[in-house]
Structure 1
């Protein structure tokens, strides 16, 4: 059984979602960022951390990539053009969408109040909206970013959309991106993950 160290309402949601998609058993230690439990496994104190046997893996994208590669699902094989396209969507989700959300969060409640720059949140919202416009341009005819195949790139982007709701960033109320995000939320594994997240409150 896998173990996720990290409070569910963090990037731990990504790992939970993937494990639900994989149908793999896991337990969650709801450790908060910077807690003793988190620092014991990750010097940065960041969560989530995946414990697989005697090994601990940090950083949510690395964890999801590891699990998808290990189980041969929700990813394309390394060294293929499809994997390169998939990775580009994953990186886009992290750099563009999460980048705007994370910078806003740091300047809202994470950094010490005396060094926060509240005005930067307007820039973050603008960058996030531009990212959604690019996502709409990149979405093809398939239901997911890689066409018919659901991948970890969809998990990263889908998680960012939920984060955006929490952060009060605007999401489209109609159109291709709206329909895409709706499809992600309708997946049974997503619903199962969210039920466990809500139960952990």
Structure 2
């Protein structure tokens, strides 16, 4: 059984959702960033961490990729052009959505007050809205999910980012992205992960 170190209201949620989609048993060990519990598994104090036997893995996307590859689900096979395209979308999401959300969080409450630049928020919101429109265009061309007719890792990542954006007061999503996000959030695996 896997152990996930983190909280539901963090990037650990992505890992929980992935495990639910893959039908893998796990235990959530609640730990907040920089807590003693988190630091036991990651010297940087960051969450999530995944414990798989004697192995401890960190970074939500690295963990998701590992789980998808290990269990052969929610991913194109490694070493294929489809996987390269999937990885390109995953990295785009990290650069163009996740990074903006994390920068906003840092300047809202993570950094010491003397290092925060609150005025950066307006720029981040505008950039996020532009990138959400780009995502909407990608979705229009792809099908039911961002990579086509099958749910994959980038879908979980995108929907988590959109939920984070909503909670952080970012601009409303384009209608198509809203409907996509709502549909994926209704999946039993999402609901099960959220119920922790």
TM-score past 0.5 threshold = yes
* Deviations 1:119-160 (CA, angstroms, capped at 9, x unpaired): 001111011001101111212241100110100110110100
**TM-score normalised by structure 2 residue count:** 0.96
Q: Distance in 1 between matches of 2:23 and 2:88?
A: 26
Q: What is residue 54 of structure 2 aligned with on the other side?
A: 54
Q: What is residue 26 of structure 1 aligned with on the other side?
A: 26
Q: What is residue 145 of structure 1 aligned with on the other side?
A: 146
| Partner SS state of residue 192, structure 1 | helix
Contact 1:161 1:171 in 2 (8 A): no
Task: For structure 2, list consecutive stretches of 5 or more residues without a partner in the other structure.
Answer: none
Task: For structure 1, list consecutive stretches of 5 or more residues without a partner in the other structure.
Answer: 197-201
Q: Number of residues paired by the alignment?
A: 195
Q: What is residue 117 of structure 2 aligned with on the other side?
A: 117
Q: What is residue 66 of structure 2 aligned with on the other side?
A: 66
Q: Distance in 1 between matches of 2:8 and 2:30?
A: 6
Q: What is the aligned-residue RMSD (CA, Å)? A: 1.1
Q: Distance in 2 between matches of 1:146 and 1:169?
A: 25
Contact 2:132 2:174 in 1 (8 A): no
* Deviations 1:57-112 (CA, angstroms, capped at 9, x unpaired): 00000000000000000000111111111111111111111111110000000000
